[in-house]
Structure 1
Amino acid sequence: MNDRVLPVRPAVEGWPAPACRGADMNTFFPAPGDLSTVRRALMICDRCPVRIPCRRYALDNRERYGIWGGLTEETRETLARIGPPSAVSSGSVG
């Protein structure tokens, strides 16, 4: 049994607790090719009330490993390479 879990800290004041709070860390840092664990992590992220700030943190800080805000390492790498959509970067609303 793995006792490595994500910290169970109080949520940031004014923010709801993340859905991953207290979850097994290996869920969000799966072994290469472990697609069932990746799917499990993405399902947790999908219902998380702080998914977007988590995603933004990972992109802004160029997190290289793990699943953050519903984005895999590969997806973040692709987004970093191609940049934000033009509507986002120009500030226009579509």
Structure 2
Amino acid sequence: MSDQPEPVAALWEWQFQGLCRTTNPDIFFHPEGERGPSRRRREARAKAICEQCPVLRECREHALAVHEPYGVWGGMTEEEREEVYRRSARPRTA
């Protein structure tokens, strides 16, 4: 086992296995002004693809680590990730 850091390219290898690579990216990112039922349907389609993806965990971890502001990543919408950020920023009480 080496103490050398993993090459940057290797850190991104998981992306080559993502099902999103073979899907129209418009499913994962909302167009300007999309709201309500249209947005919920598109997000549900994106999340259904994510649920089958072999790298869902890696994708989600990446999106949360970099605070990805746009799109469905790792089966999570922008709003769902924002909720995770808010919860983790709250002070914990005993």
Identity of aligned residues (%): 38
- Structure 2: tracts of 5 or more residues without a match: 1-11, 90-94
Q: RMSD of aligned C-alpha atoms? A: 2.2
2:4 maps to what in 1?
A: none
Q: Number of paired residues?
A: 73
Q: Distance in 2 between matches of 1:69 and 1:22?
A: 15
2:7 maps to what in 1?
A: none
Q: Distance in 2 between matches of 1:63 and 1:39?
A: 19
Q: Distance in 1 between matches of 2:77 and 2:19?
A: 17
Structure 2 residue matching 1:45: 3-state secondary structure: helix
Letter of the structure 2 residue corresponding to residue 32 of structure 1? R
Q: Contact 1:16–1:49 at 8 Å: present in 2 too?
A: no
Q: Distance in 2 between matches of 1:77 and 1:37?
A: 19
TM-score, normalization by structure 1: 0.69
Whose relative contact order is higher, 1 or 2, with alpha carbons under 8 Å and at least 6 apart? 2
TM-score, normalization by structure 2: 0.69
Task: Return the structure number with greater helix share.
Answer: 2
CA shift at 1:16, angstroms? 6.8
Letter of the structure 2 residue corresponding to residue 36 of structure 1? R
- Structure 1: tracts of 5 or more residues without a match: 1-10, 85-94
> Moved runs in structure 1, 4+ residues, more than 4 A?
none
CA shift at 1:22, angstroms? 2.2
**Superposition pairs for residues 1-94 of structure 1, below 5 Å?**
12=13, 17-30=17-30, 31-33=34-36, 34-83=39-88
The structure that has the greater radius of gyration is 2
